[in-house]
Every structure is written in C-alpha cells, then in structure tokens.
Chains A and B, each alone.
Chain A
C-alpha cells in the first residue's frame, strides 16, 4: 500500500499540535471578528449619515485597506511599530490589530450598503402608521438590514479565518506552521508526510469554515421573503 503520509499524525503529539495550531488561528480570527463587527457597525452607521467629513476620512481608510495586501499590513504593524516606534507588540496582538483594521473597513462598508439599500418608502410608511423613529428602526429597518447584512458578513468572517494563515509570516505558530514543522521533522522517516499533513490541514480549515457558511446558506433560505 502506498504511504500517503498520514502516519506522521499519530507520532507523538503531532495531531494535538495541529489542533492547537487551529486554535491559535481561530483565537486570532475570533477576537478580530468580534472587534470588527462592533467597530464596523458603528462606522457603517456613521457612514450612512452622509456627513462629508466622515465620508472623506472613511473613503481614504477603505481605500488603504483595499489596496494594501494584508501581509504588508502585518509587516508594517509587527516590524514597523515594534522596531520603529518602540512599542512592544506581541505577534498575536499585531495580528489582531491588522485583522481588525481590515475587518472593520469591510464590515463598515457592508453595514453602510445594507442600510442605504432600504428604500425610503419603508421609513415613510412606518412613520405614517404612527411608529416613532426608534420603533421604525427596531421593527422595520434593522430586521431588513440584518437580512442583507448577515450572509455578507459571514462571507467576510470565513475570509478572515482563511487569511489567518498569513500570520505565520510574523512568527506565529498556527496550524499551517505546525504542519510545516511536522513535515520538516519527518523528512527522512516519512517523505510523503507533506500530503498527509496538508490534507489534514485542509480538512481542519474545512471543518471550521463549513459550518459557518452553511449557517449563512440556511439563513439566506429562511429569509428569502
């Protein structure tokens, strides 16, 4: 039987190490995602108010995020801030800062576009039924905004989780890095380890992201109305 290299996973604590690597990736994304959602909501609402100053500033911010590769941002924050500004940021903190910087921008744009996509007749017919401004937001506008926003932001969340694989570039030992280490260590004993290890990493990513994107599909179906 050909050796597909899965055997290395059962050597020592290799599999546990991979799982811990997943946890590092998930932890960084989870913190960044929660921060991005909170900050993105606030910024998105501010952007929907069409204030010229806020619009100008957020436009520059969104543009920076759009054109800068995440890896460059990681290097700028980790090496730049730590060395140049003398801040002592850990690699993980730097990663959270960069992912939040990126996620907030994208989230804010999603919130803004979901909010302005609600036709003004929805506000007006709610007002003419006697609902107050606050009631109009609670019962009419926010539920409709959520239905547009949630599938879009789930897509953003899975992209953020996938992109955490970049953090190994600043020395964080997440799942992909652990995988490489295992392959390195077993180069002689089991030359096919690369296949088994990367296949496992693939499956692990799948197991994290798949439930999230199925949740999104489920919600989209439920909210078709």
Chain B
C-alpha cells in the first residue's frame, strides 16, 4: 500500500520550549491512526505541523509525495490535500451551511457551482443535515456544526483527514452522532489521523493507536495490544486514568 503521510524526524519548538522531539510517523492509504496522550503532550501541535499551520525547526512532512512542511511557496495548493476539523467550531459564521461547504471547492478547486452543490447535498444527506442547507452556524447544535465541518473538509476530497478532538467541546449526548460519522468514514477507507480522548471510540476506529507523552511517541500498536497489553509503564498509568 502506498504512503499518504510520512513524517521524518520532526522537531517543533516554541522559543525555548521543545514541544515535539524527533517524531517519525508513516501513514498508509486507508489507514486510521488514533493519537492519545495527556494534555499538553503535543497532539494538536503535531496535527498543525502536518497541515503547515505551524513552522517546524527540523525534519519534514511529506503528504502524497509532496513536502508540505517546511512550508513551500504554493502552500495553499498542497493544503487542499489535507482536510482538518478542529475542536472548536470553525464554520464561517457569516455563511450558511451550503455556502460554508461549497466555498473552497468553487474558489480553490475552481469546480462548477452546480456540481459542487449536488455533491454537498449528497454529503449532507449522509450526515443527516440535508434539510439544514440554509441554516447559519449559530442556528445549529454543536453536534450538527461538527458534522457540517467534517463535510466541509470531505468535499475537497483530501488525501488525509486530520481530526483534533472534534467531540471534546460537545455535550455528551451529541458525541455519538459525530463519532458515528467518523466511524463510517473509516469503513469507507478514508485515511485519517484522529486525536481523541474517547478510548472506546479509539478502540473501535483505529488500525493503529499511538501514545504520545512529553512531545515523543512513547508507544504504538494495534488497538488490541495497545489497550489490553500496554508495554510501557507510562501508557499503563495513562490508561488507568480512564477507568474508575
């Protein structure tokens, strides 16, 4: 299988604070990677480095045979290939759902308005939002907003989708509807890197789970070995914090 993402000894510092130390990671097409780890260990920073939102101090990130970090001249071109959904609601508040979703395909990929609109409605149907096309973000629940944000990323047909704790800000009863959408994407073969604190979901969705601590990848493995037989003391302790 071909590699979609290759991270090569990536180093990220904020001034003197070292946030990521020599991260190596390869993701194959169709693979779903889940990253877990304590707060502040660098999970969000890693995702932001992958799509070029953060500059890096050493190493490189390659997506689909193209170096995306260090950021190149035509950065916006390569960003199309990387979809990202954030923890906080990042829909554009002045645009309705349909406009939110169709903006980038029309303006960035120069696709035909009609065709994009058709696909948008098709995708919205799959997340149960087809009758909310004219709604503005403030008229939607948190769960609906996050499902729409996923659609907005998907319609660009990204090579890889990055999800950063997309249910962390949601009320508990809305978490399920969003995670179900992600689970379906995984079944359809989308390549994803997911940061989450939902361990049951991680177990269900992941092909490979990665444990980060202190800016390093400490342990990784299949969901079974990762959750049933953690090798390192640190991961054991981390997983214990999730059982009462």
**Chain A interface residues toward B at CB < 8 A:** 121-122, 124-133, 135, 139-140, 143-144, 147, 223, 225
Listed by A's residue number, 9 A-B pairs whose Cβ atoms lie within 8 Å are A128-B51, A129-B79, A129-B156, A130-B77, A130-B79, A130-B156, A133-B76, A225-B94, A225-B137
- Tell me whether B86 is interfacial, beta carbon within 8 Å: yes
Interface majority SS (helix, strand, loop, mixed), chain A: helix
B80 touches A130 (CB 8 A): yes
User: Which of the segments B103-111, B123-131, B208-216, B224-232 contacts the partner chain?
Assistant: B103-111
Write the chain A residue with the least CB distance to B104: A129
Write the chain B residue with the least CB distance to A140: B92
Q: In the complex the two chains form, what is the Cα distance from A121 to B83 in whole Å?
A: 15
Complex partner residue of A225 from B107, B109, B136, CB under 8 angstroms: B136
Most buried by A among B79, B82, B109: B79
Complex partner residue of B103 from A128, A139, A225, CB under 8 angstroms: A139
B103 touches A127 (CB 8 A): no
Residues of B within 8 A of A133 (CB): 76
A131 touches B104 (CB 8 A): yes
> Which residues of B from 147 to 204 have beta carbons under 8 Å from A?
149, 152-153, 156
Q: How far apart are A126's CB and chain B's nearest CB, in angstroms?
A: 8
Q: In the complex the two chains form, what is the Cα distance from A139 to B104 in whole Å?
A: 10
Of the four ranges (under 10, 10 to 19, 20 to 34, 35 or more), the interface on chain B belongs to: 20 to 34
> Which residues of B from 130 to 150 have beta carbons under 8 Å from A?
136-139, 149
Residues of B within 8 A of A223 (CB): 94
- Tell me whether B88 is interfacial, beta carbon within 8 Å: yes
B86 touches A125 (CB 8 A): yes
Complex partner residue of B94 from A125, A127, A144, CB under 8 angstroms: A144
A125 touches B107 (CB 8 A): no
Q: In the complex the two chains form, what is the Cα distance from A132 to B103 in whole Å?
A: 12
Known: A121-B86, A125-B91, A129-B79. 13 other contacts (CB 8 A): A121-B90, A124-B53, A125-B90, A127-B53, A129-B80, A129-B108, A129-B156, A130-B76, A130-B79, A130-B109, A135-B107, A139-B103, A225-B137
Q: How far apart are A134's CB and chain B's nearest CB, in angstroms?
A: 10
Q: In the complex the two chains form, what is the Cα distance from A139 to B95 in whole Å?
A: 10
A225 touches B138 (CB 8 A): yes
A131 touches B90 (CB 8 A): no
B80 touches A124 (CB 8 A): no
Q: How far apart are A143's CB and chain B's nearest CB, in angstroms?
A: 5
Interface string of B23-57 (1 = CB under 8 A from A): 00000000000000000000000000001110000
Q: How far apart are B76's CB and chain A's nearest CB, in angstroms?
A: 4
- Tell me whether B98 is interfacial, beta carbon within 8 Å: no
Q: How far apart are B100's CB and chain A's nearest CB, in angstroms?
A: 10
Q: How far apart are A131's CB and chain B's nearest CB, in angstroms?
A: 6
Residues of B within 8 A of A122 (CB): 90, 92
Q: In the complex the two chains form, what is the Cα distance from A131 to B92 in whole Å?
A: 13
Residues of B within 8 A of A127 (CB): 52-53, 76, 79
